[in-house]
Amino acid sequence: MDYFPLFCRLQGRRCLLVGAGDVAERKARLLLEAGADLWVGAPDFSPAFLQWAQQKAVTLLPGHFDPAWLTGCWLVVAATSDDVVNQQVAEAAEKQQIFCNLVDAPQQASAIMPSIIDRSPLMVAVSSGGRAPVLARLLREKLEAMLPQHLGQLAQRAGTLRDRVKKQFGSLNARRHFWERFFHSERLAQTLANGDSERADQITDALFSADIASQGEVALVGAGPGDAGLLTLKGLQLMQQADVIVYDRLVSDEILNLVRRDAERIFVGKRAGYHCVPQDAINQLLCEQALRGKRVVRLKGGDPFIFGRGGEELEALAQLKIPFSVVPGITAASGCAAYSGIPLTHRDHAQSVRLVTGHLQKSGTLAWQTLAAEQQTLVFYMGLAQAGEIQQQLIKNGMRSDMPVALVENGTSTRQRVVTGTLNELEALAGQVNSPSLMIIGSVVSLRDSLRWF
């Protein structure tokens, strides 16, 4: 081990930064965030340092390096563009037994600054010992994506509960189960993020009073329209924590490959005209799994609240007082349009967007005259089987028959296929594509040839 990893408390302690250029600015920001009493020495100072000095955030030492600047310092950073000066700073610090960081020669330094993931009070540092800083940065970026932003708030609250946990739970195993539930509680995390301390107290009390062995929860997670890269970070985190994944046909294999390896997977896929698992049975399944103490993720294609029947599933959970949370996903309208080079709105073409289910009711409740209005974009979900009716009703209610239309099959996936034409061809075009497909109707479709990127 070339370097001993150590977190230092610098609040109120004098630190010296030699240099006042761009690189020094980055080091200064880190030291100021740590609460250091920062002194900066250099012949000239960048505007940022002058502003900090005016705000009394730093103390400036004009001139060339003087070993006397080291008096009373706990840490020194040499960040000039002159290697000779940096070496002089390092040698002077060594004589006075003060740790020194050299920005351009970390392997010669007595201290190094790692890549930092800040979820205060939780801190994660990554270092390659100065040998591969780009690798350390890339690893930090991966960790940033894995660690939720709210972890710091959870850690802060956890620190106030340690005595209470020890008093209530006698065994180490019971404490471990409590803390796992605590840190995995999406409701608590969201409440803390919203600054609702009263609600956070209620959720915390519920965690203490619940039977740890039987306490389960459900998260409705939008998986997006197909491309795994469109999955949200929060959705990914919950998928990797889940005990059970309940998923439908629209969830791609690429996304399922990101699920925790040992999680149980339950398929409840549906197709138009054929329901593998009825909705009531899905609702019951979610409740049963949660009541067994499982962390359940209901993984839905697109967004759970846009034609995903997520509201019905939450109603069933709420009736049994089962904790739940919702993670939005990129809906098919947005994803498919973007990947097809079709802007849903455009100042010259459409000032509004309407998302419509293609499962048309026999009673004909759709306001076709409103849907046929100008200067808007229509997006029909699950509309292939009703393409002829959609075509007929829109034209009948005043939409021009040559209005551009696009049908997007397997949108955002590697199998995406787009078929374009006009409204009077819609029924015929629908026969050329397979489900799942999305219909986009409006003059914005005419922009596709100039805006599509693949």
Annotated active-site positions, please?
248, 270
The answer to whether 298 touches 220, Cβ cutoff 8 Å, is: yes
Measured CA to CA, the distance from residue 302 to residue 83 in angstroms comes to 54
Is 306 within any annotated ligand binding site?
A: yes
Is 331 within any annotated ligand binding site?
A: yes
**E-strand spans in 2-105?**
14-18, 37-42, 58-62, 75-78, 99-102
The answer to whether 328 touches 334, Cβ cutoff 8 Å, is: no
Residue 212 Cα to chain centre, angstroms: 29
Say which residues have a Cβ less than 8 Å from residue 260's Cβ, sequence separation at least 6: 239, 240, 241, 242
Is 227 within any annotated ligand binding site?
A: no
The answer to whether 432 touches 409, Cβ cutoff 8 Å, is: no
DSSP state of 150: T
Is 44 within any annotated ligand binding site?
A: yes
DSSP state of 413: S
Is 23 within any annotated ligand binding site?
A: yes
Is 328 within any annotated ligand binding site?
A: no
The residue to which tokens 């050329």 are assigned: 432
Is 382 within any annotated ligand binding site?
A: yes
436: cis peptide before it, omega within 30°? yes
Write phi, then psi, for 387 (nearest 5 degrees): -60, -40
The answer to whether 246 touches 282, Cβ cutoff 8 Å, is: yes
CB atoms within 10 A of CB 128: 17
- 115-119 vs 122-126, strand pairing mode: antiparallel
- 404-409 vs 437-441, strand pairing mode: antiparallel
Is 421 within any annotated ligand binding site?
A: no
Is 395 within any annotated ligand binding site?
A: no
Q: Rounded to a whole number, what is the largest CA-CA distance in the chain?
A: 90
* Cα three-residue angle 244-245-247, rounded to 5 degrees: 150
Measured CA to CA, the distance from residue 124 to residue 233 in angstroms comes to 18
Measured CA to CA, the distance from residue 42 to residue 425 in angstroms comes to 73
- Known binding-site residues equal 22-23, 43-44, 225, 301-303, 306, 331-332, 382, 411
- Residues within the annotated binding site for NAD(+)? 22-23, 43-44
